[in-house]
Amino acid sequence: MDVIAKGLAEQGIRVARFEFPYMVQRRMNGGRRPPNRQPELIESFSEALASIKGPCVVGGKSMGGRMASILASEATHSNIHGVVALGYPFHPAGKPDKLRVDHFASLALPMLIVQGTRDALGNREEVQALSLPRKARVLWLEDGDHDLKPRKKSGFTHEQHLSATIAEVAKFIQNTLIAD
């Protein structure tokens, strides 16, 4: 997320970041902690969003992107105009039948999902079989895993994938906020 945030800032996009409570605890204690429950995560996201004035696009990596999309689907924040999810966790690892997409039916905002083609939490084949939000678009990063990292033998580098991600996210944000 540091590389993405810095790259977006270099494109002239203001980025506001925050940490979920469990991540703050992990950083302070150094130990692994399970994530907070969804209502607490959504509340933390809402509190962080309260300081944002004007229209914005919310997003995050993995669970952060999922929480951003849930928050956007609830339509309680009129300043949310779009969602970006990097490595969306469509299902838990090894459990493709336990989908995490029920809220997609009520997500009417534009959404950009950046996903590796071999992401263990939603690869290309699995995701293409789903019904995504009407205004959702997926940027597929060839041979990328959940962190968007390709294998060396693929001929791609993580830096290339991150650069492509920054360019596409910047374009999505600009188009989403200008279109309103």
Neighbours of 57 (CB within 10 A): 23
pLDDT at 76: 76
Report the chain's mean pLDDT, rounded to a whole number: 94
* Predicted confidence band of residue 78 (pLDDT cuts 50, 70, 90): confident
pLDDT at 33: 78
pLDDT at 27: 86
For 2-179, CATH number?
A: 3.40.50.1820
* CB-based burial label for 128 (10 Å; 0-12, 13-18, 19+): exposed
pLDDT in tens, 30-56: 888 789 999 999 999 999 999 998 999
* CB-based burial label for 131 (10 Å; 0-12, 13-18, 19+): exposed
Whether the predicted pLDDT of 122 surpasses 90: yes
Question: Which of 31-45, 126-140, 157-171 bottoms out in mean pLDDT, i.e. has the lowest?
Answer: 31-45
pLDDT (mean) for 50-72: 95
